[in-house]
Amino acid sequence: MANSDNPRRGAAFELAVQDWLTTIGIRTTQNLVVHVGATSERRAHKFDLGCTDPPTLVECKCHTWTDGGNAPSAKLTVWNEAMHYFACAPREYRKMLVVLRSTRAGESLAAHYLRRYSHLIPAGVELWEFDDSTRHGVQLFVGS
């Protein structure tokens, strides 16, 4: 797949996640803007999906293992960036990182991320794995 397909693939993944969230009672809109900040200064940030009632923020990541079977380290850095935005978002929001289920040698990319980076997941942030074939999500982790 060419890199030019990535934005289209990501948008389709977001819509699939949005549809699934609706089935579990969370009605979201795309590109929800919330003011975030690590200090008293706040700036607008667009989250992939979200709603204000109940307050929920969702980031969607449609990443897979590399063709060579390696972890996509640059893409996992983007997951860490999402964790930073969640940490800087208002406390009243439920925060969900929903990632595409991608497996290699019996390990999912999300499980690999947890093994390597769980210490960077803020308290209360949920990591969900979404299976594109079944259109169903499974919660893997909640930061403590």
CA atoms of 102 and 116, how far apart (whole Å): 16
Q: Are 39 and 64 in contact (CB under 8 A)?
A: no
pLDDT value for 3: 57
Per-residue model confidence as pLDDT tens digits over 66-118: 999 889 999 999 999 999 999 999 999 999 999 999 999 999 999 999 999 99
Sign of CA dihedral 119, 88, 124, 99: negative
Percent of the chain whose pLDDT exceeds 90: 92
- CATH fold of 3-142 reads Trna Endonuclease; Chain: A, domain 1 (3.40.1350)
User: pTM of the entire structure?
Assistant: 0.94
